[in-house]
Structure 1
Amino acid sequence: MRIKPAQFLNHLQKQTYAPVYLITGEEPLQLMECSDLLRQSARQQGFSERIIMVVDTSFDWKSVEQEANSLSLFATRRLLEIQLGSKTPNDAGTKVLTAYLNNPPPDTLLLMTADKLDSQKQKTKWFTTIEEKGVIVPVFPLELAELPAWIQHRLHVQGLKATPDAIQMIAERSEGHLLACAQEIEKLKLLYGTTQTIDIEQVMDAVADSARFEIFDWVDTLLNGETARCVRQLQGLKAEGYDPVLILWALTKDIRLLCQVTYALQSGQRADQVFRNLRIWQQRQAIIQKAAKRYPPTKWQTFLQQTVIIDRMIKGAASGNVWDELLRLSVQISGVKL
């Protein structure tokens, strides 16, 4: 079965666990929070041991089978977590998962997380078996029109109130990125507390307070070709303790967008038509167009492949220095040939 992220908490509270949960999609905040909901619920129900497996090109799916069949040394119930990332189970993995789900161990709860799975991957045997035997929670970016209502609900959960203009400012600032929205709301709570209604001036003050090393400003800087400034900003983001997951997400989002833009322009579409079709905000169109002229579609595709490698570094599935690779990629995008 499939359920929406908004329904997941009620599902965990009202029903016995399914043998497997697959949380998949390209929206990082919902993926993270749904995963955390299951982990927290499992701990409360006595699943006190957590085993994490990260799938990469050398992953041996027999280790899943061995883990499932082994007795726990530390707890009677355990959470087995398989992080697929951009990978999917091969034939051996499909066989292991199918056998597991046909006879799931009563003391083990399986959580799988994955990036967005296209329609072809959703037709594979391992996916359809999970859908039949377990629960799939797809997480998608919100449409821009849905974002103000989401922000208002998030503010309410935090005990905050804001004017419609303030909510719209938060929405425009984050451009649909829920993790950025959540961080802005946390910041507003710290700055202004819960005893007043937050207005647009207060939101703008909070924005200005963090503008120096703000992630989206950094992305715009490198897309605009300002290499020296982009290096300083990235060093500042690191010094301020920003999560590289969020930094990489923001960068990947625009690289993926530029893949689409450059392919569309190369096919002969007009720039205004491309911007309209891809819902690119007017205030960003000049920067996106400037970056699109810098490299052909194949180069943007290469940059996208580099983000996959950095993502694997963040997850511990590949060796390398995440910040060094972010720096290398960003200066390349800004126009420096390495």
Structure 2
Amino acid sequence: MIKIKNIYYMLSYAFYALNDDKYKKVETEEFENTADLFSEILAIGVSKQIKQGLVKDYIDVRETTSSIRGKIEITDSINSKSFLKKQLTCTYDEFSVNCYLNQILKSTMLVLLKSDISSHQKKKLKNILRYFTEVDLIDVNSINWKIRFDRNNQTYRMLIGVCYLTIKGLLQSEKSGETKLMQFIDDQLMNRLYEKFILNYYKKEHPSVKASASQINWQLDDGIDYLLPRMQSDIMLDYGDKVLIIDAKYYKNTTQSYYNTNTIHSGNLYQIFTYVKNKQLENNNWEVSGMLLYARTDEEILPNNSYQMSGNTISVKTLDLNQDFTLIKEQLDKIVDDYF
């Protein structure tokens, strides 16, 4: 379980735009569910964007008109017999707010309007949607999220990120063909947010420690790496001659069970061990350690161990996300204090 407000704090590290003063009041509000939180973030963010001006882009327009504009579509004009009315079918580019980014915003806000959010939030979204009358709706289930951001639309990055979390993380289809929003983001997306939060937390709060999501090279005797998987760390902390590799995990169960015996997830342990040993072989003068950092669950058996494995320390810990955020920060800070 995770406190709703802590999702906001995690997002504020994942998206630096949320550190703007306009979002400060979110910290003092209580939210019934995640959809309520996302509605508030979008209400603030989109309102700010409206004041700055909704982004515009060139879109393809096709219309039958009595005044020639752009390219005349001869075949369409003949087939539709529009020329009998002294009209022609034309296509042209128009610089319009009816672009893909605004269509995503509008469609997501309408999904939230149909969800279990407070009447206060619904009123906010309805007021904002009045500025989107010229923007078309799109099918949220077929949105292409591979969007290129540039200096002209950079302010949309966080807004689209929240839309993505809403649609991909909360939207759930039912057998009746209807859709509903879950109260919490699904585990797969929460795992990505969890990783990004921890990485960016260390980047911001501990600048003296180098925090990155670095790749680790295979230390091979013959140099042949054909078909070997890439070793991509979630978080790598580096200070002086000490390195800590953290693998962040957001699972429903922090341990695996076999014949009523609980053990650490074997695949996770093998992975972090492999990362640590290969990183250690890059430089034997380094002190390389590894950590599996699970989001804490309500299970009775929770890992809290450190193991000495072939000269390296491998720890398995949990981070309780269902507590006051100051305590979460304390636990993350303690990791740096203990290892560096």
Shorter-chain TM-score tier: under 0.3
| TM-score scaled by length of structure 2 | 0.25
Structure of higher RCO (CA pairs closer than 8 Å, 6+ residues apart): 1
The answer to which structure has the higher helix fraction is 1
